[in-house]
Structure 1
Amino acid sequence: MRSGLRPDAGLHDLAVSDGCTDTVLVIACGALAREILDIRDRNGWHHLALTCLPAQLHNRPERIPAAVEAAVMAARPHHGRIVIAYGDCGTGGQLEALCDRLGVTMIDAPHCYAFFEGSARFAAHDDEITAFYLTDFLVRQFDAFVWEPLGLDRHAELRDMYFGHYTKLVHLAQTDDPALDAQARECAARLGLAHERRGTGYGDLPRWLERA
């Protein structure tokens, strides 16, 4: 796989399928592509196919349900089972309602921060309202997903308006990568926040995929 995923990676960019109805298709957020492919390959799950929706949908979560529905309807004739590698991701319960209607399973978590750390463990940090979270993907794509969408590349004075109530940046690290850790520290410095690293690995994601 490529060393990095384009923020605008589209529906078919990472599709892996032989068109066999015995396959299990995972329709995933593009931000999870690297991790899902690694889990699949490590376990030899050759029957598992992956299709990714653009990771940039996280900036417009109201569009996620419609994109997921379109992907499910297009894929149904070609796969025996379809699962949805999304948490609620800011859809306000709309994605869960859609999945119930379509009869497909999604991850039972509010967002990727929760299932990477482990939902129970993440819930124990419910007092961390001043923490700003980044996964490995978001560290790699910090400019595309945080800095530029918020206009900080053009108006640095907005930083304190957006992040003045935060105290720390928490890097939920899926891998042990010193270069990525350094990038996360740089992200924290650019936002004027303290840096904390938590090694999570893939959290609940492998177990969810195994059940799928």
Structure 2
Amino acid sequence: MPPGGNGRVLVVACGALAREILAVTRQRGLGHLDVTCLPAILHNRPEKIPAAVEAAVTERGGDYTSVFVAYADCGTGGALAATCARLGVSMIEGPHCYSFFEGNAAFAAHGEGTAFYLTDFLARQFDAFVWRPLGLDRHPELLPMYFGNYETLVHQVQAEDPDTEARARRAAELLGLRYEKRFTGYGELETALAAL
């Protein structure tokens, strides 16, 4: 992909990160970044993420000095990293957003196999991205099958907001999990964007 000469950076992002990316770009004065978001619902079919990212980079990337992909692996099993390498674009480090929000090293050190994670986005969109797609609104008897091995719902807070926290607490209650709140801020997403 030949780089454009306009000095601008295209950020191809997961739609679940749109609010956070826009907040970071405003706070850090990163006016040279242009953001295009792909549908967050792609996370329900992660095998489709690499092709969607490639299409966005191919369609728009040639007009930019560089392209950055604001996705971690996100369940693609390394396919997204391979696609980015082939296209010559960089991407955020880590297995998923729960890891880079907390910090990849800190997240790995926790080793929390019994924790279910919600970012602010997922707390706000819990019904649309978890409850209804898993059929729990129609078949609550499936709850132990999906969440029986979890003990805690960890709400990774990017920005303090009482409504978002109330939604995360409601999700924990619906799932029958202990609620834990961790303020992460924007974590390594902010670091990665600031470096652009």
Counterparts of 2:66 and 2:85 in 1: how far apart (Å)?
14
Structure-to-structure mapping, 1:73-112, within 5 angstroms: 73-112=58-97
Counterparts of 2:170 and 2:193 in 1: how far apart (Å)?
33
Where 1:204 maps in the other structure, the secondary structure is: helix
Identity of aligned residues (%): 62
Equivalent residue letter for 1:159: L
Structure-to-structure mapping, 1:139-154, within 5 angstroms: 139-154=123-138
* 1:203 equivalent in alignment to 2:187: yes
Where 1:162 maps in the other structure, the secondary structure is: helix
Equivalent residue letter for 2:100: F
**Cα deviation digits, residues 6-26 of structure 1 (max 9, x gap):** xxxxxxxxxxxxx98321010
Match of 2:105 in 1: 120
Equivalent residue letter for 1:77: G
Match of 1:15 in 2: none
Structure-to-structure mapping, 1:35-184, within 5 angstroms: 35-126=20-111, 128-184=112-168
Counterparts of 1:76 and 1:91 in 2: how far apart (Å)?
22
Where 1:124 maps in the other structure, the secondary structure is: helix
- 1:21–1:77 Cα contact (<8 Å) kept: no
In the TM superposition, residue 42 of structure 1 has moved relative to its aligned partner by 1.4
**Cα deviation digits, residues 17-58 of structure 1 (max 9, x gap):** xx9832101000000000111111112221110000000000
| Structure 1 runs of 4+ with >4 Å offset | none
- 2:16–2:40 Cα contact (<8 Å) kept: yes
Counterparts of 1:163 and 1:182 in 2: how far apart (Å)?
20
Q: CA RMSD in A?
A: 1.2
Where 1:183 maps in the other structure, the secondary structure is: helix
Where 1:154 maps in the other structure, the secondary structure is: coil
In the TM superposition, residue 199 of structure 1 has moved relative to its aligned partner by 0.6
Aligned residues: 193
Counterparts of 2:61 and 2:25 in 1: how far apart (Å)?
21
Counterparts of 2:28 and 2:148 in 1: how far apart (Å)?
43
Equivalent residue letter for 1:177: D
Where 1:82 maps in the other structure, the secondary structure is: strand
Greater share of residues in helix: 2
Equivalent residue letter for 2:178: A
Match of 2:169 in 1: 185
